[in-house]
Structure 1
Amino acid sequence: MSAGVETGRITTDIPARMDRLPWARFHWLIVIGLGTVWILDGLEVTIVGSMSEALKPAGTGLGMSNFDIGLAGAVYVAGACTGALFFGQLTDRFGRKKLFILTLLIYTAATVLTAFSMNPTWYFVCRFLTGAGIGGEYAAINSAIDELIPARYRGRVDVAINGSFWVGAAGGALLTIPLLDPTVLDPKIGWRLAFGLGAVLALAVLLVRRHVPESPRWLFIHGREEEGERIVQDIEKRVHEDSGRELPSVSETITIRQRKSIGIGLIARTVFTMYPKRTVLCFSLFVGQAFLYNAFFFTYGDTLTTFLDVKQTGWYIAAFAVSNFAGALLLGHFFDSVGRVKMIAGTYILSGVLLGITGFFLGSVTAVSLTLIGAIIFFFASAGASAAYLTASEVFPMETRALCIAFFYAIGTAAGGIAGPLLFGKLIEDASGSGDISKIAIGYFIGSALMIVGGVVEIILGVKAEGQSLESIATPLTAEDDAEPAGGREWEAVPS
């Protein structure tokens, strides 16, 4: 191993001890402290999307044009992609806890500053920084959750947490109804207060997050095994006291060559040469779900107002968001019991087929029927999309985990947040002249095809990771060759 300087070798049973823990209050602390970032993201995206008109008047808003509104969205996406890649590297290098505290602080500060925007330039800068904080959160949080949650619960927890984006989306949609109503609040402060509420929630999350420990898995690889051992002993004590159950002993160990850091060159080589099939898999899943959501949800509000004469979209968006979260919550446990490959492939293909069928009948929908159809499609799609993040976070070696999550998140966000809006926005603009909603069906067909392709790729290249330790799914780069678990390299007998 040429990257970094070897600082020692240890044989540890920490992964096996973490995976054999029963569910306890400690794990709820992890879910609440780390998982709520998706609620913040959903709140942020929905509120901003709903307040576009409030930002346009020069007297009460910022005097922004339609182009400025679109540019602000692109700037936020660029910030998210940049933050994911930049902070993803730092998360693998400096630890999960430092980065999930830092990125939340950046998000909070940027959101507060957005509320005090004086002109479009200030607003753009704050949107970029807010996006950078959220993008960095995704990398730090997903890696920490997967390393702290026992293997048999990892699938359902990850899917439900990623699906909690829609709790924030529903809340944001409902909040915008009074906040942007001039009879309830002065238009000068309504949109500013909306940003302030996001910052208040972030501060509450920060208070809980301070008590979440560093990942013991990260610690023992980076030469801090004594600290990792103390954390695991403390977790075991808390779980024993909470559950009242004796914890079984473990015999599985892994031998690690410790290093302070892992070179970026080795990390990149790992993704593209050691695990090329998994790279193709993650790329297919992320791009598919990104375009699916742009084909429907991110044109949904415009579709309701432009073609279906809806004046207040908040109630419709809230109903749609509730269905998304329900799907992730209710279907999540099947990703552990039925299995990753069957559930991911099934949810991708089913939602893709349903969206394609909807495209053929788009000319005859009403606001209510379109919302109902969307709720059914995305009940399944949200669980599949959440599982894309789960896949990226568990099928690559631990030393690369955060950066791999960041890399595929950036690809999906760029495809969905830049190419998607440009394409689907153009379709709506062209169709609005004639008022023919069926002209945007091509967007539905593209999203449908990409989801079906993602599902097929999952069938061919998917990894049966349910119930397995992270170290057996992808062997750490620093593991001793003779201690390597079966199935740890893609060219070996990887479960598929």
Structure 2
Amino acid sequence: MNSATTTAGTKTRNSMIVVALCWVAVLLDGFDLVVLGASIPSILDDTAFGADTATITAISTAGLVGMTIGALTIGTLTDMLGRRWSLMVAVLAFSILTLLCAFAPNPAVFGLLRFLAGVGLGGALPTALALVNEFTPKRKAGSASTTVMTGYHVGAVATAVLALILLEPYGWRSMFIAGAIPALVLLPLMFRYLPESPAYLMVKGRRDEAEKIAAAHGLELDAEPVDEKPATRVNPIKALFDRSIVRTSIAIWVTSFMGLLLVYGLNTWLPTIMREAGYELGAALTLLLVLNTGAIVGLLVAGRVANKIGPRTAAIIWFTCAALFLALLSIKVPYGVYVLVFLAGCFVFSAQVLVYALTSAVYPPEARATALGWSAGIGRLGAICGPVLGGALLDADLASPWGFYAFAAVGLLGAIAISTSKPQRRETDSQPTSAAR
């Protein structure tokens, strides 16, 4: 009995190590969300570097375009080449290119490096999400995605704190050196402890390897052997357009666009919009911290709700509530605004992650990383549009109250889009499940 208990505990620990490594990889995405914005004042003050506001905008856009390309391409390659090496290469590429950003001699080189770093980082998120879902019991699939995505917001908050420590004494280049440091620890740990996904190995006909990894992590595999001929496997991109699922694919892409438009639009412009609404600068910046704190709490709650009612239904509710609380921000309430912003953060950020949870649930293992990559990649187009929308409203002097209404409308469109997805539960038989209860 004691031996069995120890074995079960070891299996649980092994699975938790996989989740932890993927969590740190996602944290790097959170770093990237904040690092440029936090460094902009210092970059603009660096007269020798020679960047202006328009140049910074172009650099920011280049990074997001790189992420879009990385999510679409590396996500697809992950289904062809495997999760483990794809994630390690993505982390290595992002870290090296981020380090090189610290030594960029001019804005043109800096922009190119940010673009290339974005390609690497864009592929890390869908690969990490695919791995986590494939090492998690089906009954906990919703909380698997939301839990690992807390790393995104922890990374954002930690980077903002890091900026307060490094920027004034050491300048903006120190931020990009710091951004490369996690790879020194993460990559050796990944090489030692990160296994290949049993679901991926099964698809490739490598059942013996899959069984060994599944046994070490407390997973059960489908009892029926899979086809041993990889050449006959479904094209992962073609699978997204299969007649049985294309409606859901389109719904996921549109919703992901709306979700990341909200995430990046609000993180970029919320303090400015709140100032336009009459709040002091200090309060406006505090509200940004409250927004991201709400995001972490919302992720933990959303995952558990999705486990109970399914990620599709949860996503509809979450986008609807996000729209409601964003619209309510147009009402100026001196102290109640902190509650409204916290609740908006709870729903806005986790709504997008529920889209990833739905994506993981409805696609088969041979197309799962590709589907996540396309969801994240098309969503990055929304990430580009979010700051543009906020900036346009500010330029037109319409930020308050119409900025709140515009972002609320985006949330409502997200709810409508995800509700058009096919109401089905398609958790493939080949996905591993937990052996221990």
TM over 0.5: yes
Match of 2:5 in 1: none
**Residue 67 of structure 1: aligned partner:** 54
Conserved in 2, the CA contact under 8 Å of 1:340 and 1:463?
Answer: no
* Contact 2:79–2:236 (8 Å) recurs in 1: no
2:21 and 2:190 in contact (8 A); partners too: yes
Per the TM alignment, residue 160 of structure 1 is displaced from its structure 2 partner at its CA by 1.6
Partner Cα distance (1:227, 1:212) in 2: 14
Give a deviation string over 1:164-210, Cα, whole Å, max 9, x none: 311111112222223233xxx1xxx3312211222112332223322
Assess if the C-alpha contact under 8 Å between 1:173 and 1:317 holds in 2: no
Aligned: 1:142 with 2:129: yes
Partner of 2:204: 222
Alpha-carbon shift at residue 217 of structure 1 (Å) = 1.4
1:279, distance to aligned residue in structure 2 (A): 1.1
Decide which of 15, 19, 24 is 1:27's aligned counterpart: 15
- Deviation, 1:252, is 5.4
Q: How does 1:335-484 map to 2 (within 5 A)?
A: 335-359=306-330, 361=331, 364=332, 370-417=337-384, 419-431=385-397, 437-438=399-400, 441-461=401-421, 463=423, 465=425, 469-471=427-429
Listed one character per residue, the Cα deviations across residues 369-391 of structure 1 (whole Å, up to 9, x for unaligned) are 65542221111222222111111
Structure 1 distance, partners of 2:15, 2:157, is 25
TM-score, normalised via structure 1 length: 0.78
Give the number of aligned pairs. 421
The one-letter code sitting in structure 1 at the alignment partner of 2:36 is: V
**Higher radius of gyration, 1 or 2:** 1
How far has the Cα of 1:120 moved from its partner? 0.7
Superposition deviation, residue 23 in structure 1: 7.6
- Identify the match of residue 107 of structure 1 among 91, 94, 98: 94
Unaligned runs of 5+ in 1: 1-19, 240-249, 474-496
Show the counterpart of 2:298.
327
Look up the equivalent residue of 2:109 and give its one-letter code. Answer: W
Structure 1 residue 94 displacement after superposition: 0.7
- Tell me the residue number matched to 1:289: 259
Question: 1:312, 1:267 → 2: CA distance?
Answer: 47
Shift of 1:302: 3.1
Query: Which residue of structure 1 aligns with residue 73 of structure 2?
Result: 86
Write the distance in 2 (CA, Å) between the matches of 1:262 and 1:348: 39
| Among 261, 265, 270, the residue aligned to 2:239 | 270
Q: Aligned partners of 2:145 and 2:383: how far apart in 1?
A: 21
Checking the alignment, whether the CA contact within 8 Å between 2:299 and 2:346 is kept in structure 1 is yes
Candidates 38, 42, 46, aligned match of 1:54: 42
Given the superposition, is the C-alpha separation of residues 442 and 197 from structure 1 closer, same or farther in structure 2, using an over 3 Å criterion? same
Q: What amino acid sits opposite 1:104 in the alignment?
A: V
In 2 relative to 1, CA 71–378 (structure 1 residues): closer, same or farther, beyond 3 Å? Answer: same
Measure, in 2, the Cα distance between the counterparts of 1:26 and 1:83.
29
State the identity as a percent: 21
1:317 paired residue number: 288
Which of 34, 44, 50 lines up with 2:32 in the alignment? Answer: 44
CA shift for structure 1 position 42: 1.2
Superposed displacement of residue 429, structure 1: 2.3
For the aligned residue pairs, the C-alpha RMSD in angstroms reads 2.8
Contact 1:177 1:314 in 2 (8 A): no
Q: Distance in 1 between matches of 2:289 and 2:162?
A: 10
Question: 1:462 Cα deviation (Å)?
Answer: 5.3
CA deviations on 1:26-74 (whole Å, 9 max, x unpaired) are 1210111112222211122212111111111344x62211011101110
1:192 alignment counterpart: 173
Q: Distance in 2 between matches of 1:74 and 1:262?
A: 39
- Structure 1's 208 and 251: CA in aligned 2 closer, same or farther, altered over 3 A? closer
- Rounded Cα–Cα distance in structure 1 between residues aligned with 2:227 and 2:136: 24
Contact kept, 8 Å, 1:356 with 1:444, in 2: the verdict is yes
Structure 2 gaps, min length 5: 1-7, 432-437
Alignment of 1:234-253 (within 5 A): 234-236=216-218, 253=223
- Larger mean CA deviation between 105-114 and 311-320 belongs to 311-320
Q: Could you say what secondary structure the match of 2:30 adopts?
A: helix
Q: How far apart, CA to CA, are the structure 2 residues paired with 1:251 and 1:69? A: 49
Distance apart, 1:213 and its partner CA = 0.4
Q: Secondary structure at the match of 1:56?
A: helix
1:221–1:192 Cα change, 3 Å:
same
Paired with 2:99 and 2:275, the residues of 1 have a C-alpha distance of 30
